[in-house]
Amino acid sequence: MSDHWKAEYPNRRNIFWDNTNVNIPAPSDAAMNRETYSLYYGGNVAKGGVFLFLCGWMGTWALWGGAIADTDYVPRSGIFDAQTEFVDEVDVDDSDVKFTNIKDKGYRCRMAAWRSGKQQLLQPFFAKADRKFTSKEVLQSATIASHRSGNERAVNVGKRSGKIARGAENHDDLADLDDLWLCWGFQANFMFRPIH
């Protein structure tokens, strides 16, 4: 990771997270249709996580039905638990350095992050009725939004595979689509320049 990021986020293990969609055909099963229909995307989709480390390494996280809210996707898909397990079991030398999750302001999972290994969540501040942001809140929100621009590029790279960009077709197995999504998120690190 560059010296710029080390100075900006000292003694933190930062990870930028976002969610995106992969289009799927409307299922004939009513329950599956409800589970995959997203009002936000205006159709049936699978929703997956995309992460980015400050060193430029990116990846994807499992696809779920598109009806799940971003706030629910993060803790229910096991992201926080996997990060806690990494710190506790894999990276024992730096076990005192917890993950700091950097997200946009649409996520409401600060307590879920804290409950899972005392992880932190950085995101822009929310506006409250009849109250202006303080100067510190404005600067912190702008800084986080600026730093998250790399994450939007990671989402773009995550969807560069032709199959993922086209989405699933009528006879595709959704489990195979999930495998492709996860493999592409790993493989893309060796095909494109690191994202900073």
Residue 63 lies in a domain: yes
3-state helix vs strand vs coil in the chain, percent to 5? 45, 20, 35
At 148, the amino acid letter reads R
pLDDT in tens, the chain (196 residues): 667 777 777 777 888 899 999 999 998 899 999 999 999 999 999 999 999 988 888 999 999 999 999 989 988 999 999 988 888 887 666 667 788 888 887 788 888 888 888 888 887 777 666 667 777 878 777 777 777 777 788 888 989 988 898 888 887 888 999 999 999 999 999 988 777 6
Residue 195 lies in a domain: no
Q: How far, in Å, CA of 59 to CA of 76, rounded? A: 18
Residue 196 lies in a domain: no
Q: What is the pLDDT of residue 94?
A: 61
Residue 157 lies in a domain: yes
Q: What is the pLDDT of residue 151?
A: 79
Total domains in the fold of the chain: 1
Query: Domain of 140?
Result: 3-190
Q: How far, in Å, CA of 162 to CA of 137, rounded? A: 41
Residue 97 lies in a domain: yes
Residue 134 lies in a domain: yes
Q: Which two tokens stand for residue 27?
A: 């299922």
Q: How far, in Å, CA of 112 to CA of 123, rounded? A: 14
Full 3-state SS string of 31-90: HHHHHHEECCCCEEEEEEEEEEECCCCEEEEEEEECCCCHHHHHHHCCHHHHHHHHHHHH
Q: What is the pLDDT of residue 183?
A: 95
